[in-house]
Structure 1
Amino acid sequence: MSTADPDGPAPRVTSAARAHPGALLVAARRRFTALAPRRDDYTGLARSWRRDLLAGLTVAIVALPLALGFGVSSGLGAAAGLVTAVVAGAVAAVLGGSHLQVSGPTGAMTVVLLPVVARFGPESVPVVAIMAGGIVVLAGVLGLGRLVAYIPWPVVEGFTVGIGVVIALQQVPLALGTPAAHGTNAALVAARTLTAVDWSAAVAPLALVALSVALLVVLPRVRRGLPASLVAVVVATLVAELAHLDVDRIGALPRSLPAPHVPVIDATTTSVLFSSALAVAALAALESLLSAHVADGMADDLPRTRPNRELVGQGLANVASGLFGGLPATGAIARTAVNVRSGARTRLAALSHAAVLAGVVYLAASWVGRIPLAALAAVLLVTAARMVDVSTAAAICRSGRSGATVFVATLVVTVVFDLVLAVEVGVAVAAVLALRAVARASGLHREDAPDEVVHADDERVLLHEHIAVYRIDGALFFADVRRFLDEIALVSDVRVVVLRLSSVSVLDTSGAHALAQIVADLQHRGIVVLLKGLRPQHRRVVESVGVLDVLAHEHHLFDDLDEALAHARSHVRRERATMGAAASPGTGPGPTKPEEP
């Protein structure tokens, strides 16, 4: 197999390649081959298979109540969550770009799915999963996996905390044993549910929630290796059975995985569900890549995730889940972390986790069906609480106003609106604040020209009074054009302006257009403009918008400051000789003709 890195820069198409189309086909074949499974995915398996199998069992114990709970929270039922964990978990483990990623239903995805179920019905979810999977696969093939690196840390943390808040709000109806109120926003549904609850009937489910939460909090402190979530669910179920509590249960589960089925996907369905599928795809890609990034940080000695292959694997996992009637899936940060901490070294761990969950479907469906929904609500409440890292949030807020603004904006939009919009808003706010910081760091500075004394009709004149040297630092781009125009427009008492451009780090089309306006305006007022130090990477944009065309002469572009100043002095001498000794220093000259070099 090829060892080409699919996530590296695209190969440059040379003239030789254009002359031989076969070379392009070979390059494309290598790129697509690099996105497929390979033999070295299981390097070291002979030494680590025991640890991998044990890690897979541990993750399955953690994943079982989460899969059931997220299935219930999504509106499709516990069976759909379990099917998703089995099918998507297995496909992503084999085809994904991470050695340690564990995939399945997640709380973030249920947040996105609730409005879809409310609007289009449960039958639309598998279709959305298939469509979203196709979009994610396309993103991986196009090499978009590295874009996640551009998401700022405050956005990621605000997004994570917001998801935790939404997941907790979603558990209010289950914890109270009350039907959820109508609506798609978790906060509004929780508030309406609280106003309509029958508190006498809510005592039993609340007692199970309290018992389960207590076990989830205490057991890890007693013994860290205990599967607290599974123990809590089992204890709550036994209490409900022995006390004959009248609480809602998961209900009957199928005793086998459903057969794959291709839902009807026509033009009408595609157009109606496309926006939902796009949102699901964006979330699946984002959460999976973030989870894989966490895994890479926890296991530095293993090969790092291939982002584009991870997208392809997650996309195909979503397609497979939809074909089996499951939910859209993503990489799950909590389960992936458990997998790493349990000693997993290869993909066998995630694959065996899916196999254990499949065994639950075939061997323990009737027992699982007796689990109280209140116990699952407790597991998800604790999971949500652990997603809120108070110390991290405090560190971001202390770091400065910009980071705090981005964090809070992302958090609020996540809770009030939806997750994809939250990421978009967070990135947009971060970009605007970053642009403002860059603009503030940029500046226009007037420098003194070197003193030179010349004689003109027996009068001593300081030549630098007629020459203004301006240095532009940092960025000259759309965010700072108006300030730049306003400052340079104040020039009125000189005959030559030298603009030093060597310190300009960023020059976009708007900045180049502003530069052309400045040159044209100064020259219209009779002030000669010389440009010094134009960087090669900026020359194309400058030429494109006509900056060089508006210069009075083609030789008014310099690479050396001394040469530019010598040219400026020469111009002033010629002008003084033309105007006569009667011209006083500091008087603004009238329009002049373009000079010769």
Structure 2
Amino acid sequence: MATPQFLKTLKPFKPRIVESMQGYNSQRFLKDLGAGVTVGVVALPLAMAFAIASGLEPQTGLFTAIVAGFIISAFGGSSYQIGGPAGAFIVVVLGIVNQYGVANLIACTLMAGALLFLMGLTGLGSLIRLIPVSIVIGFTNGIAVLIALSQVKDFFGLNIDTIQGNFFEKNWALLQAIPGLNWSAFLLASISLAFLFLWPKLFAALCKGRTESVFPKMLQSVPGSVILLLVGTLVSFGLGLDVETIGSKFGEIPRSLPTLALPSIELASIQTLIGPTLTIAFLCAIESLLCARVADGIAHEKHDPNQELMAQGLANMASPLFGGMPATGTIARTVTNIRSGGNSPVAGIVHAFTLLIIMMVAAPLAFHIPLAVLSAVLMFVAYNMGEWREFPKLKQYSTIYKVIMLATFLLTVVVDLTVAVQVGLVLAGVFFIYRVSTLTEFIPIYLKDEDRAKGIVAYKIYGSLFFAVVGKIENLILNTKKSTQVLILDLHQTISIDTTALEGLEELNAELQRAGHTLVFCGLNNQALSLFKRSGFAAQLLPGQIQEDFSSAILHAHAISIEDQAGA
């Protein structure tokens, strides 16, 4: 039985780990083991912080990092990608939780996972790369600002409930609550944030003159956020600071993964969840493939974008079944993996098991972690996430680039991520169409005196003939003089023609015929000639109206002129 044609176009399911296992040995495993443990430790505070900032319980982030992190590494298209909860999802998930509830967040994540898998299976992973960098930078910076704003409450220890409303209402509520800030929380968060910024210099100072000591090497493998988590918790607990902690807000973190549970999805609510589902899928695809490209640049390896999307899809279908949230590739953890010696997807699998072991052994210790410290970690993440240097560099770019980037950034911050990306894509499309239309030129061809005397006029068309340049075709009708006998259009440098432009050419031909003129085409490429024939336009033309080259077109124009004179 023959294989259906559509099945032949589907991309194969080929996880990178299969290729990576060729020639795998104990030496490579030890490198992956060290990198995986390091990344697992790095992911610990971030996973909890991202979940809390998203309006979920801290264990949700851990479950996501363990389950989704394992699947993304085991089935992904990159040797280095580390998956889990990401800062980019904070704003999206928080909005879905506040508007639709946790149950519908699970439904959205499941549907987004299925959509991501289909995107990879059908080869759409390559198309994600076509999104302009101005849009990516705009919404990335916008998300970074929103992450920072979402942490103001815990950073200042403000005693207010979850804030509802639009951007201005939320920030007005925060400003009104500032006089009642908790000075203990504010000072702890401020010192924590300063520590994170100063940690590289502090580490360098501690290691100065101790190059032979084991201490610097041990300290180097521990990220500043983990040290901050330990020290901040000890200081808060030891001094008895009156600050909100994970335990006081969420209770104890469980020591094991929850049992697999199928969610109950109401079919009636699916329609209302299409928008959030598309947002999660789109953001996951962008973040994961952007992360994979960063990894490629560092490790000099090429990832498989379609396989990566299939893995992301599986991860986002599995994560909510175990109490998790949306997951994607994470740049900070992926870069840490590469720099720590990770050389295959095994490192990502080790990272997932490291988190599982930590959760099983040390979960009760998280009870005393201050939310102010976690808010400082997220403020630091937001700062590092943003491409802030792009704003001063805007003066170097075109007006189109500036408009798209700033519009995407402002709409992300003030309105909504989905709206921002939609508007950004529309603006990018409109500006691209305008730009391409300006590149299409109708250039008059200089003819000999004898040619002009016989009423021959010729134009060479550069670029593409499509809907945006129909006006230029219409101008040919207006600019054709009564003395013109033959109008030649040389299309050998015309890249393509669409159906709208073809209709314009048909109208041009009809108008010229009614006025007693003849239109001659020459130099058509395969695409243009095929369109002429498939549309039936070629059959409408008289013999000789399509010529192979310009010289043939001139000869045919002379023949028409002689016939007209004989007829007269």
Q: TM-score, normalised by structure 1?
A: 0.87
Could you report, residue by residue, the CA deviation over 1:139-185 in whole angstroms, capped at 9, with x for unpaired residues? 22222111112111112211211111111111111112223453265
> Which residue is equivalent to 1:4?
none
User: Out of 550, 558, 561, which is 1:572 matched to?
Assistant: 561
Could you report, residue by residue, the CA deviation over 1:478-505 in whole angstroms, capped at 9, with x for unpaired residues? 1111133124421113111111111111
Cα displacement (A) at 1:364:
1.0
Distance in 2 (CA, whole Å) between partners of 1:170 and 1:544 is: 57
Does the Cα contact within 8 Å between 2:77 and 2:307 map onto a contact in 1? yes
Could you report, residue by residue, the CA deviation over 1:538-565 in whole angstroms, capped at 9, with x for unpaired residues? 12322344433443x1221101212211
Does residue 513 (structure 1) correspond to residue 503 (structure 2)? The answer is: yes
Distance in 2 (CA, whole Å) between partners of 1:43 and 1:190 is: 54
RMSD across aligned positions (CA): 2.2
Does the Cα contact within 8 Å between 1:211 and 1:236 map onto a contact in 2? no
User: Out of 52, 55, 64, which is 2:44 matched to?
Assistant: 64
Report the 3-state secondary structure (helix = DSSP H, G, I; strand = E; otherwise coil) of the residue aligned with 2:182.
helix
Distance in 2 (CA, whole Å) between partners of 1:186 and 1:359 is: 40
Does residue 341 (structure 1) correspond to residue 339 (structure 2)? The answer is: yes
Report the 3-state secondary structure (helix = DSSP H, G, I; strand = E; otherwise coil) of the residue aligned with 2:372.
helix
Does residue 554 (structure 1) correspond to residue 554 (structure 2)? The answer is: no
What does 1:15-94 correspond to in 2, within 5 Å? 21=2, 31-32=11-12, 34-36=13-15, 39-46=18-25, 47-94=27-74
User: Out of 122, 141, 165, which is 1:142 matched to?
Assistant: 122
User: Out of 91, 96, 116, which is 1:116 matched to?
Assistant: 96
- Higher alpha-carbon Rg: 1
Does the Cα contact within 8 Å between 1:489 and 1:518 map onto a contact in 2? no
Does residue 527 (structure 1) correspond to residue 531 (structure 2)? The answer is: no
Distance in 1 (CA, whole Å) between partners of 2:23 and 2:193 is: 39
Distance in 2 (CA, whole Å) between partners of 1:95 and 1:69 is: 26
Distance in 2 (CA, whole Å) between partners of 1:114 and 1:429 is: 27
Does the Cα contact within 8 Å between 1:397 and 1:403 map onto a contact in 2? no
> Which residue is equivalent to 1:540?
530
Select the structure that is richer in helix.
2
5+ residue gaps, structure 2, are 205-219
The amino acid of 2:175's aligned partner reads: L
Structure 1 pair 344–188 and aligned structure 2 pair: CA distance change class (3 A): farther
What does 1:385-464 correspond to in 2, within 5 Å? 385-452=383-450, 463-464=452-453
> Which residue is equivalent to 2:217?
none
The number of residue pairs the alignment matches comes to 545
Does residue 231 (structure 1) correspond to residue 221 (structure 2)? The answer is: no
Report the 3-state secondary structure (helix = DSSP H, G, I; strand = E; otherwise coil) of the residue aligned with 2:235.
helix
User: Out of 215, 240, 246, which is 2:242 matched to?
Assistant: 246
Structure 1 pair 59–188 and aligned structure 2 pair: CA distance change class (3 A): farther
> Which residue is equivalent to 2:215?
none
Cα displacement (A) at 1:117:
0.8
The amino acid of 1:418's aligned partner reads: D
Percent identity, please.
35
User: Out of 443, 464, 472, which is 2:461 matched to?
Assistant: 472
Does the Cα contact within 8 Å between 1:65 and 1:233 map onto a contact in 2? yes
Distance in 2 (CA, whole Å) between partners of 1:38 and 1:55 is: 16
> Which residue is equivalent to 1:584?
none
Report the 3-state secondary structure (helix = DSSP H, G, I; strand = E; otherwise coil) of the residue aligned with 2:326.
coil
Cα displacement (A) at 1:67:
0.7
Structure 1 pair 172–26 and aligned structure 2 pair: CA distance change class (3 A): closer
Distance in 2 (CA, whole Å) between partners of 1:96 and 1:153 is: 24
Cα displacement (A) at 1:45:
3.6
The amino acid of 1:444's aligned partner reads: F
Structure 1 pair 235–434 and aligned structure 2 pair: CA distance change class (3 A): same
Report the 3-state secondary structure (helix = DSSP H, G, I; strand = E; otherwise coil) of the residue aligned with 1:530.
strand
Does the Cα contact within 8 Å between 1:413 and 1:421 map onto a contact in 2? yes
What does 1:189-338 correspond to in 2, within 5 Å? 189-199=170-180, 201-223=181-203, 225=220, 226-251=222-247, 252-300=252-300, 302=301, 304-338=302-336
Cα displacement (A) at 1:89:
0.7
> Which residue is equivalent to 1:589?
none
Report the 3-state secondary structure (helix = DSSP H, G, I; strand = E; otherwise coil) of the residue aligned with 2:462.
strand
What does 1:142-161 correspond to in 2, within 5 Å? 142-161=122-141
The amino acid of 2:509's aligned partner reads: V
5+ residue gaps, structure 1, are 1-19, 453-461, 580-597
Report the 3-state secondary structure (helix = DSSP H, G, I; strand = E; otherwise coil) of the residue aligned with 1:245.
coil
Could you report, residue by residue, the CA deviation over 1:375-405 in whole angstroms, capped at 9, with x for unpaired residues? 1110110111112223334335412212222
Does residue 494 (structure 1) correspond to residue 484 (structure 2)? The answer is: yes
Q: TM-score, normalised by structure 2?
A: 0.91
Q: Which has the higher contact order (CA 8 A, sep 6+)?
A: 2
